[in-house]
Structure 1
Amino acid sequence: MSFKRKSLAALAAGVAITAAGLLPASATGSAPAPLAAGKAAPYLYLGWGNPPDPATVMNATGIKTFTMAFILSSGGCAPAWDGTRPLAGGADANAISQIRAAGGDVVPSIGGWSGNKLGPNCATPEALAGAYQQVIDAYQLTAIDIDIENTDEFENATVQDRILNALKIVKQRNAGMQTIVTIPTTTTGPNSWGNRLIEQANALQAGIDVFTLMPFDFGSSNIYNDTVNATTALKDKLKATFGWSDAEAFAHSGISGMNGLSDQRELTSVEAWTQIRDWAKTNGLGRLSFWSVNRDRGCPDGGVTSHCSGIAQPDWEFTRITAGL
């Protein structure tokens, strides 16, 4: 997987983006329960200017859940939105209140491509679990997404294991808490680091509910085929590792795409995303997301930007399609 999330300072300045989004299931083959906070949960990011009003998007599309990005370190093992905005009393907390008042819910995403992450800064699994718990307690959450990318977390065996062990602790402390990990992928499925994470999740009995791939930035000429191939390979890896059936492995699998033009200017059209949604629905995937609702607005030939998809489309169309899961 190539680049997805550049520095937040660069993003805020409006330059081209690089994007960005059960009880423990053991090898016994038990299937997961449906994701409590909603299987369809596109990313919403308040760190860019002119973010969409979530209630407006909900009313226009039927979407009920947003993946809110990103929780980072505000120094050491202390969580904050983008590492700067407080958990309580800020724009993010206000947006969460608005979403819930409109009948929806949120899944905070912890991590991302860049910024100061909690995984490397919290010295032990217990400390990292404590940071996650602060986020959970701040919003009375039922699910969290840990977005594991880059060399500081994804390509670091010590930090990978710290994250998995922390999530195991979180599930022990929070009955019914559902955990998602979101990782890069190749067109043929998880790479060696992704396979390691899956194998360690089993070995450590971390109880991860959904393993979500980010199938884009391939330079793809057919994003639908590449997404299906990558996700099918993920399903096969989960099936072999945990001993699940095809249906159970798909239920533990997720897709997090990038609407319109990706960083490499590959195209995910409205038609292709509809195909991906339909395939995910047919196969019973546990999660469907995309980066991002901020970009779910039309701008033909607009390029890769933070405020629109770079293509001609009705506003909020990718969100509406996603809601159909």
Structure 2
Amino acid sequence: MAEPAEIAGRVAPPRRRLSVVRVFLGIVLVVALSTGGYLGVQWWGSAQAAEAYNPWFAGYVDVTATPTYDFEASTAQAGNDVVLSFIVAATDDACTPTWGTHYTLDEASDELDLDRRLARVKQLGGQVVVSFGGLLNTELGTSCTDKAALVTAYADVLDRYEVTTIDLDLEGDNLTDTAAATRRAAAIAELQTDRRAAGDDLAVWLTLPVATSGLTEDGTTMVSAMLDGGVDLAGVNLMTMNYGSSRDADETMAEASVRAVTAAHRQIGTLYSRAGTELTAATVWGKIGITPMAGQNDVPGEVFGLDDATALNAFAREQKIGRMSVWSLNRDITCGSNYADVTRVSDSCSGIDQGDTKFVDLLGEGFTGRPVEAAATVTTDEAKQIESVVDNPATSPYPIWAEESSYLEGTKVVWHRNVYQTKWWSRGDLPDNPVLNEWETPWVLIGPVLPGETPIPKPTLPAGTYPDWDGTAIYEKGDQILFDGVPYESKWWNQGESPDAAAGNPDGSPWTALSDAEVKKLLDALPE
């Protein structure tokens, strides 16, 4: 995540239109077509997932940035809860937690009045999450090689600030260090187990960078390390910002973010599956967080505007995302007239004209849960719920997938109450086979089977448009006929081959049904 450009005289590297909501939601189907399907499970998820869903919003606050942001004085409902960043290792002691290397916990109390300000947050009904790591400094798990000392360092922060939710923001060397990942997971797992045994909650979020194709390889490796190490992750918070070359030139930041989040949803479900825990699609959505960067991003030309915030919030609420944040509350304001170059990222303003509108209000709309209440959620395997899903042809818009059937490019099927479409010829490829990358599967997850759906009939043409199929007739390549009103075209010479077999064996049948688009064109051309 971005960090302050200037802190108490210390210079650091610069940290880092869509219209109405209904129009934006129309792109979600298109976005789905660009990403591969992962676990195709029932669209409504399990009753447990629905009951546990408790989405919350908390904006990041850069504790050591100047000018100081008065997070304790927020009057906005969405601004009551905050994610304080960043706890990192001291430069002279690898196992000592500090705020940005500049203040120990005691020094932050004395010089920043941090303890008193946090007490005020709680007086006003706010809640606090603490974030470890960030882009510029060394996360404790990276530097502290003594596991017992590392557990103590994490515990000191939790106890000092009485938090039940922590955020591990892993970027740069903190993300790529595999030895540190194993060590960090072991320490966090021990801490979480001990706290839960004592009746205390500890929710652990991983905050990771994404491209529009989803999590990076380092990101998926980090998630696996935490799961394999025994950590019960509350979820993965995606930094939907700074896409660079992965973002299409004509894509808005909200559209790019939807692509990134949709791809990450597949990856996270797959990673849980590989770790031995099967989750419904609904549960995985609840384990996703989204954190855009307000206004001007670090990448030139990438601006996350107010319309993007409205659209991304609509998508998040539609999918029942578990958490929403923003980087950062420090920046959620229009730059003053003395700030000459708004394209240069500022730590204290967004770089765009917000008027009186706040990103915190747009992004936080509808996120009524609280971090403390959500921290009580424990992940449980949902394999039985997934296995119990039975696809009924009478309530499915398309044929049920069959292992022995072959499917041409563009064919739609139903599997585990979800609709999939082929990207290329497929036979025997399970539509919900867990894969990390969309190119590993021929199937695209389009979306769930909706309540009340029935089989979509093939469009028909009026009698006489083409000759009816005759089992005794000889047909040459390109001949067109009607079979129960559905138009078919012959792929090669044949006789006595019924078009009825084309759906179940598209490769072996000499007949192929005309596409819906072709039939519509023919219908439009018919005289009134």
Instruction: Calculate the TM-score normalised by the size of structure 2.
Output: 0.55
Runs of 4+ in 1 over 4 A off after TM superposition: 6-16, 29-35
Say which of 134, 156, 167 aligns to 1:145.
Answer: 167
Deviations 1:294-324 (A, max 9, x none): 1000128623111100000035601112331
Residue range with higher mean Cα deviation, 222-231 or 125-134 = 125-134
Cα–Cα, structure 1 residues 267 and 48, in superposed 2: closer, same or farther, change >3 Å? same
Question: Secondary structure, in 3 states, of the residue corresponding to 1:115?
Answer: coil
Say which of 204, 210, 218 aligns to 2:243.
Answer: 218
Deviations 1:73-104 (A, max 9, x none): 12220112112223242423232122111110
Q: Contact conserved, 1:8 with 1:114, CA < 8 A, in 2?
A: no
User: In structure 1, how many angstroms separate the alpha carbons of the residues matched to 2:82 and 2:355?
Assistant: 19
User: In structure 1, how many angstroms separate the alpha carbons of the residues matched to 2:145 and 2:97?
Assistant: 14
Q: Contact conserved, 1:296 with 1:315, CA < 8 A, in 2?
A: no
Match of 1:51 in 2: 68
Q: Contact conserved, 2:223 with 2:271, CA < 8 A, in 1?
A: yes
Say which of 167, 189, 203 aligns to 1:168.
Answer: 189
User: In structure 1, how many angstroms separate the alpha carbons of the residues matched to 2:144 and 2:14?
Assistant: 28
The answer to whether 1:311 aligns with 2:352 is: yes
Match of 2:88 in 1: 72
Question: Secondary structure, in 3 states, of the residue corresponding to 1:279?
Answer: helix
User: In structure 1, how many angstroms separate the alpha carbons of the residues matched to 2:193 and 2:356?
Assistant: 41
Q: Contact conserved, 1:61 with 1:319, CA < 8 A, in 2?
A: no
Superposition deviation, residue 61 in structure 1:
4.6
Match of 2:260 in 1: 230
Superposition deviation, residue 44 in structure 1:
0.7
- The residue type equivalent to 1:275 in the other structure is A
Superposition deviation, residue 271 in structure 1:
1.0
User: In structure 1, how many angstroms separate the alpha carbons of the residues matched to 2:303 and 2:133?
Assistant: 25
Cα–Cα, structure 1 residues 249 and 62, in superposed 2: closer, same or farther, change >3 Å? closer
Q: Contact conserved, 2:80 with 2:126, CA < 8 A, in 1?
A: yes
Q: Contact conserved, 2:205 with 2:233, CA < 8 A, in 1?
A: yes
The answer to whether 1:269 aligns with 2:287 is: no
Cα–Cα, structure 1 residues 149 and 316, in superposed 2: closer, same or farther, change >3 Å? farther
Cα–Cα, structure 1 residues 294 and 232, in superposed 2: closer, same or farther, change >3 Å? same
Match of 2:178 in 1: 157
Deviations 1:88-131 (A, max 9, x none): 42423232122111110110111100123312221144332221
User: In structure 2, how many angstroms separate the alpha carbons of the residues matched to 1:294 and 1:124?
Assistant: 35
Question: Secondary structure, in 3 states, of the residue corresponding to 2:326?
Answer: strand
- The residue type equivalent to 2:84 in the other structure is M
Cα–Cα, structure 1 residues 197 and 124, in superposed 2: closer, same or farther, change >3 Å? same
What are the residue-to-residue correspondences of 1:93-242 with 2, within 5 Å? 93-151=115-173, 153-175=174-196, 176-219=201-244, 220=247, 221-242=251-272
User: In structure 2, how many angstroms separate the alpha carbons of the residues matched to 1:248 and 1:127?
Assistant: 34
Q: Which runs of 5+ in 1 are unaligned?
A: 20-28
- The residue type equivalent to 2:238 in the other structure is L
- The residue type equivalent to 1:161 in the other structure is T
Q: Contact conserved, 1:164 with 1:201, CA < 8 A, in 2?
A: yes
Say which of 276, 289, 295 aligns to 1:254.
Answer: 289
- The residue type equivalent to 1:60 in the other structure is A
- The residue type equivalent to 2:155 in the other structure is Q
Deviations 1:239-286 (A, max 9, x none): 222221111001111111100000113110011011111211221112
Question: Secondary structure, in 3 states, of the residue corresponding to 2:211?
Answer: coil
Match of 2:485 in 1: none
Q: Contact conserved, 1:238 with 1:244, CA < 8 A, in 2?
A: no
Q: Contact conserved, 1:42 with 1:322, CA < 8 A, in 2?
A: no
Deviations 1:214-252 (A, max 9, x none): 121113442111111111111111222222111100111
Q: Contact conserved, 1:12 with 1:48, CA < 8 A, in 2?
A: no
User: In structure 1, how many angstroms separate the alpha carbons of the residues matched to 2:350 and 2:9?
Assistant: 17
Superposition deviation, residue 6 in structure 1:
5.8
Question: Secondary structure, in 3 states, of the residue corresponding to 2:264?
Answer: helix
Match of 2:363 in 1: 322
- The residue type equivalent to 1:249 in the other structure is V
Q: Contact conserved, 1:16 with 1:306, CA < 8 A, in 2?
A: no
Match of 1:25 in 2: none
Question: Secondary structure, in 3 states, of the residue corresponding to 1:255?
Answer: strand
Q: Which runs of 5+ in 2 are unaligned?
A: 17-45, 273-277, 368-528
Instruction: Calculate the TM-score normalised by the size of structure 1.
Output: 0.87
User: In structure 2, how many angstroms separate the alpha carbons of the residues matched to 1:156 and 1:45?
Assistant: 25
- The residue type equivalent to 1:234 in the other structure is A
The one of the two structures with greater contact order (alpha-carbon pairs below 8 A, sep at least 6) is 1
Superposition deviation, residue 50 in structure 1:
2.1
Cα–Cα, structure 1 residues 162 and 12, in superposed 2: closer, same or farther, change >3 Å? farther
- The residue type equivalent to 1:231 in the other structure is V
User: In structure 2, how many angstroms separate the alpha carbons of the residues matched to 1:64 and 1:8?
Assistant: 25
Question: Secondary structure, in 3 states, of the residue corresponding to 2:87?
Answer: strand
Question: Secondary structure, in 3 states, of the residue corresponding to 2:76?
Answer: helix
User: In structure 2, how many angstroms separate the alpha carbons of the residues matched to 1:78 and 1:15?
Assistant: 22
- The residue type equivalent to 1:135 in the other structure is V
